[in-house]
Structure 1
Amino acid sequence: MTTPGRRRWWDVDPAGFAVATVLAVVALTPSLIPRTGLVQGVVSGVAAALGYAGGVAVAWLLRRRAVRARARALVPARLARPGQEVASPVHRALAVAIPVVLVVAVVVAAHAQQRAAALVGTTPPTTTSFLLALPVMVLVPAVLVVLVRAARGLTARLARLMRRRVHLSRAAAVLGAVLLVLLVTAVADGAAARAAVVLAEHAFAARNDQPGTAAGPPTRATRSGSPASLVPWDTLGREGRRFVVGGRPAEQLALAGARRPVDPIRVYVGLESAPDPRQRAALAVAELERTGAFDRAVLALVTPTGTGSVDPPIPDSLELVHGGDTAMAALQYSYLPSALSFFLDLARAEETSRLLLGAVRARLDQLPPDRRPRLLVFGQSLGAQASQSVFDSIDDARARSDGVLWVGPPHASRLWQAQLARRAPTSPAVDPVVGGGREVRFAARPGEVAASPPSPWDPPRVLYLQHPSDPVVWWSPTLLWGRPDWLAEPPGDDRPAAMRWFPVVTFWQVTVDLPRAQTVPSGHGHRYGDLLVDAWAAVAPPPVWTADDTARARRVLVG
């Protein structure tokens, strides 16, 4: 028999249980990316665990403020069990009602997820399969609560053991102060951050050395890693090798373009190709010189994603539009996936973008204006954020390039945020109009990209591509405590109208959407392949280019 007043590890705090139930149900509401039953169970389960912790904390604070009697009248200290207080009829009713409410809420949520799936063209979950969310959302918080209680119990046991053996109170205070000083000092000088980057890069460097899909080095002199190249094949890394061997055959370039095709130039410099970012930028310029890139119609500088990846539709679409009369250069800046690079190593991505643009711009300025290729700047995802950091403003970007395309920019992108702040009051955040669209435009669908009347679009043109359903664009820590404009406005065409903002919960929902942003079909989430031909044709069209040419090139790209 349990001693009255002593809590067992399986006891449930009613205050925590009540708040956990509310947050679990709230987390059933749709967000940007449709969810399966399993994913929904994890989303609601973690939300319930957070709610349980919050409810327990609030109840504890109420008791600490000497209102225990009043708090018990509202929420008893714990559920009744043998030898203790008997649960009231209200609590017995809740014990029956809450499971029923959860079942009904999950069924309703299944229909909401089916509508969300229809918006982005994914296979909707069946109501039966979505019921998997129920056991998962119960199991996840239960496991988390048990683990936390176990850790707390272990800590208490260790503390009691140490108190028996040493006089710990003063020693612990001194030791804690010393550790705090060391920690603050390490963080202040960046040692902790640098150590984290080094450890993470060691973990991911092995993947960079894997051969990937490339069978061997290219034979064409227009590619880095070829026998004629200044950049050795074995220094390009997995993603660099994929980039330089890729591309569409000449017959597809001929079918898509309005000119006789030529062999496109692709330059890539890996992390192992030169010792530091400055030397890698210089090597890229030398490689562009060797390949004849400065004699092409278009020269595009690409800031890749964290691992150094350049999504194949990016170069393919530009080469289709210009019949291969292009050169494209990219520099690797990290081994880490974009999510880790964003938090641990964003500065190096920004430095690499700045050095490459500066080195290429300096070389172009040495050429007569009528002999320079059009200089285009491109970045997608983390690459878009790093690429934007090179410029002080849109005017600066237009002054130092001949066209800019930024795709799926993360919400933290400073230049992107500045444009949203400048948008016309009547235009929403998901489809902003800035300065009448004369310099910078935003698009989510092919029909929105075209540079057409009524308003002119003056070159050099800057274009952002952003889907209403892209969590990379809309995720921000501020979702924890404030409703953003994009959730206060009418939804875009692929965001569920039922999506609402809730403190903490919406932040968690969109966080879970992030790694799933590319699981949806192109045209939604973080997938922009269907827009790239239209985007390049709008930002930097070839001479005498028409809408029919764009449609033909798009058909070739998508097959």
Structure 2
Amino acid sequence: MKMPRFYILALTLGLLFFAASLTPTLIPRGWVVQGALGGLLMALGYLIGRVALSIWRLLELPEATGRALTRLRVAIVLPFLILLVLCISQARDWQNGVRERMEMPPLETSHTAQMLALAILIFVLLFVLGLAVQWLFDRVRTRLYRYMPPRAANVAGLVVTGLLLLVVTRDGMLDRVIGTLDTSYTTAQALFETSPPIPEGVETGGADSLVDWSALGQPGRDYVTSGPKAADIAAFTGRAALQPIRVYVGLAEDKSPETRARIALEELRRQGGFQREVLIVALPTGTGWLDPGALDPVEYMHGGDVATVAAQYSYLQSPLALMLETDAGLDQAEALISAVHRYWRSLPKDNRPRLYVHGLSLGAWSSMYGTDLFALLDDPIDGALWVGAPFPSAKWRAVVASRNAGSPYVAPVLGEGRLVRFASNYQNALGPDGWGAMRIVYLQYASDPIVFYEPASVFRPPVWMTEPPAPDVSPEMRFMPIVTQFQLAVDMALATTAPAGYGHSYFGRDYVEPWVALTAPANWSAEDTKRLIAHCDSGFQIGCDHR
């Protein structure tokens, strides 16, 4: 079969995309991921080249032929091949640069041969798939030539081919999604008859509890049974401590988010949560998981005089919950925060706990939505700690957009820092001084693609790529239209594979200073902060797992 004219030039564009895919982004990539990404982008570049050629011919623009075509090919292909070789030779150093900033051991080898073989295989498979689609399109439009003019038949053929592909692939995609949901449900929960016996001494789900232990689910049971005990806290502080209160209502408790919120409120009241010094309304990630590294530190620094209440809204992994159950988290956050806030504001101001809102990842997004700022005007909560807020969060975007001139996009400064401050793995929240009536801290890592993914990066660089890079971001990052978009999408998929303290893996030690800044614990010193950070590093539940 004779290759179409300009095939070499289209392939050259594909190779350019492949070369660009080797450049570093936020999360380090192994050879398997890099090979798959490179093959996909090579095929995409080739497709764009072929489409450009089709448009050129459709417009009946002049085409090079003979020696002119040969010279054009050499002039374009040769520099690109040199660039490709240079990028391949630099690939391992680029990845090691990212790994070094994340305190990971360097790659001994980039497995270049395996990566190239995988990329070529992916490209060939996608190329064959493209030929199959082209064959289908040709068959459809040829049939339609009998009934309509060629131009109309071409358009109709394209539409029919698209519909056929949609019908053929739809069932497969739905099966995959449903399979993922089933797996997520079975592995993350263990409900009703499969639930383990309730441990002795656990309040939430116990004999007198308003919460059904068998409906809690695995994330809820882990949360209410884990965390520091009063004796652990007393051993750390050297002072008498209380047992922290942890209330959690599982999704299986009731179908209604309002009912789950009501049960959570009543259980919180039953356990005496409104008599504690600090009360935290926490929204979990998609599966119902709460990061112990986020909540253990604040319980230590307040001598256990803390109550936390949470309610589950999904069984799904956070990305799936965001796509398929968008309203579930928002409805639950609004119901729970409103219920707790209404009861809290009915109490005398001198006889109620300080009230804070907290969420990680999808929990941050939903709890930001559920925090009604208008309802807070006359009786505001004391503050919020939002961690790894996903990029679609409108409130986060609005806050970042209002940063001071010259303030970095990844580490904004707003006004004098009286209402909102940002913290990261290299920047603290500047302590408990200088705040106004309400305190809000955003904890985010500059290397977190869940936060800093930019949908518009198809054609223009994200703002943060136009600024000097943060300490945990490679200075070798370069923007390339289309390619960067795919690289950042892969980064999002790999975000939680980064070491603790980078990417979307938030580290217990990095919660300590934000909580100190927000809650200003009594009899707490800078030395205590250092000791608690060291305690986080030494061992209690500090990992990050967005199950």
Q: Do Structure 1 and Structure 2 share a fold, with TM-score over 0.5? A: yes
Query: Partners in 2 of 1:438 and 1:520 — Cα distance?
Result: 32
Q: In the TM superposition, what is the alpha-carbon distance from 1:6 to its structure 2 partner?
A: 7.6
Deviation at 1:299, TM superposition (A): 1.1
Shift in Å at residue 219 of structure 1? Answer: 2.4
Question: Please, which of 515, 530, 535 is the counterpart of residue 556 of structure 1?
Answer: 535
Which of the residues 340, 348, 354 maps onto 2:328? 348
Report Cα offsets for 1:401-436 as digits up to 9, x if no partner.
Answer: 112100011122111111111111121111111012
Deviation at 1:246, TM superposition (A): 1.0
User: 1:501 aligned to 2:483?
Assistant: no
Alignment match, 2:199: 218
| CA deviation after TM superposition for structure 1 residue 543, in Å | 1.4
Matched-pair contact (CA < 8 Å) for 2:284–2:363: yes
Cα 1:398–1:302 change in 2 (3 A) is farther
Kindly provide the CA deviation profile for residues 490-531 of structure 1, in whole angstroms up to 9, marking residues without a partner as x: 111100011122211111111101122122222211122221
For 1:319, the equivalent position in structure 2 comes to: 299
Q: 1:206 Cα deviation (Å)?
A: 2.8
Which is further off, 236-245 or 119-128?
A: 119-128
Q: Deviations over 1:2-51 (max 9, x none)?
A: 5xx587xxx99223201101111111111001122222222222211111
> Measured at CA, do residues 297 and 55 of structure 1 come closer, stay the same or move farther in structure 2, by a change above 3 Å?
same
Structure 1 residues 364 and 377: CA distance shift in structure 2, 3 A: same
Deviations 1:103-154 (A, max 9, x none): 4321212111111110011222234434532222222122111112123324
Unaligned runs of 5+ in 2: 167-173, 539-547
1:30 paired to 2:24: yes
Q: 1:292 aligns with which of 252, 272, 279?
A: 272
Shift of 1:74: 6.8
Structure 1 residues 338-357: Cα deviation after superposition (integer angstroms, max 9, x where no partner): 11122222222111111101
**8 Å Cα contact 1:534/1:550 also seen in 2:** yes
Pair 1:67 & 2:61 matched: yes
Of 125-134 and 375-384, more deviation after overlay is shown by 125-134
Report the Cα distance in structure 2 between the residues aligned to 1:324 and 1:470, rounded to whole angstroms. 31
TM-score, normalization by structure 1: 0.84
Please point out which of 203, 208, 214 is paired with 1:234. 214
Match among 407, 420, 431 for residue 427 of structure 1: 407
Partner of 2:370: 390
Q: Could you tell me which amino acid in structure 1 is paired with residue 446 of structure 2?
A: P
Alpha-carbon offset, residue 95 of structure 1: 7.7
User: Among residues 396, 408, 417, which one is paired with 1:437 in the alignment?
Assistant: 417
Check conservation: 1:268, 1:284, Cα contact below 8 A.
Answer: yes
Is residue 21–residue 48 contact of structure 1 (8 Å, CA) maintained in 2? yes
Letter of the structure 1 residue corresponding to residue 392 of structure 2: A
Structure 2 CA distance for aligned equivalents of residues 470 and 398 of structure 1: 35
Question: What are the equivalent positions in structure 2 for 1:9-88 lying under 5 Å apart?
Answer: 13-70=7-64, 88=70
Structure 1: which amino acid aligns with 2:522?
P
When structure 1 is superposed on structure 2, of 295-304 and 210-219 the one drifting more is: 210-219
Cross-structure match for 1:82:
none
Contact (CA 8 Å) 1:301, 1:357: kept in 2 or not? yes
Cα shift at 1:229: 1.7
On the 8 A contact 2:431/2:516 being kept in 1, the answer is no
Using the size of structure 2 for normalisation, the TM-score is 0.86
CA distance in 1, matches of 2:320, 2:121: 29
Give the equivalent residue in structure 1 for 2:131: 149
- 1:350-369 → structure 2 map (5 Å cutoff): 350-369=330-349
Contact 2:264 2:309 (8 Å CA) reproduced = yes
Give the aligned residue type for 1:477: P
User: Residue 195 and residue 22 in structure 1: after superposition, are their counterparts in 2 closer, same or farther (change >3 A)?
Assistant: closer
Query: Residues 118 and 124 of structure 1 are in contact (CA less than 8 Å); yes or no, is this contact kept in structure 2?
Result: yes
After superposition, the CA RMSD in angstroms is 3.4
State the distance in 2 between where 1:394 and 1:275 align.
28
Cα separation, partners in 2 of 1:367 and 1:556, compared to 1, 3 Å: same
2:543 corresponds in structure 1 to none
Task: Tell me the residue number matched to 2:224.
Answer: 244
In the alignment, which residue of structure 1 is the partner of 2:103?
A: 121
Alignment of 1:150-549 (within 5 A): 150-154=132-136, 156-157=138-139, 201=181, 204-210=184-190, 216-222=197-203, 224-257=204-237, 259-391=239-371, 396=376, 399-445=379-425, 448-451=428-431, 456-529=434-507, 530-549=509-528
Inter-partner Cα distance in structure 1 for 2:67 and 2:387: 55
Other structure's SS at 1:494 match:
coil
Give yes or no for contact 1:219–1:227 (8 Å, CA) kept in 2: no
Displacement, 1:468? Answer: 1.0
Shift of 1:333: 0.8
- Measure how far apart 1:99 and its partner are: 6.1
The one-letter amino acid paired with 2:462 is: P
- CA–CA distance in structure 2, aligned partners of residues 519 and 322 of structure 1: 32
Instruction: Report what 1:109 is aligned to.
Output: 91
Q: Secondary structure at the match of 1:243?
A: helix
What is the distance in 2 between the residues matched to 1:142 and 1:239? 43
1:346-389 CA distance string (max 9 Å, x none):
22211111110111111112222122111110011111111111
SS state of the match for residue 375, structure 1? strand
Quote the residue 1:78 is aligned against: none
* Partner Cα distance (1:486, 1:128) in 2: 28
CA contact (8 A) 1:214 1:241 kept: no
Q: Which shifted more, 443-452 or 394-403? A: 394-403
Contact residue 234 and residue 303 of structure 2 kept, 8 A: yes
Distance in structure 2 (CA, Å) of the matches to 1:468 and 1:20: 30
Separation in structure 2 between the aligned mates of residue 22 and residue 393 of structure 1, nearest angstrom: 49
**1:127 & 1:394 partners in 2: Cα distance?**
56
**Aligned partners of 2:191 and 2:215 also within 8 Å:** no
Is the contact made by 2:337 and 2:371 (CA closer than 8 Å) also made in structure 1?
Answer: no
Distance in 1 between residues matched to 2:254 and 2:101, nearest whole Å: 46
| SS of match in other structure, 2:307 | strand
Query: Is the CA contact (8 Å cut-off) linking 2:274 and 2:353 kept in structure 1?
Result: yes
Task: Figure out how many residues of one structure are paired with residues of the other and give that number.
Answer: 520
Cα deviation, residue 276, structure 1: 0.6
Q: Which moved more, 1:65-74 or 1:417-426?
A: 65-74
Segments of 5+ residues of structure 1 without an aligned counterpart are 76-87, 184-193
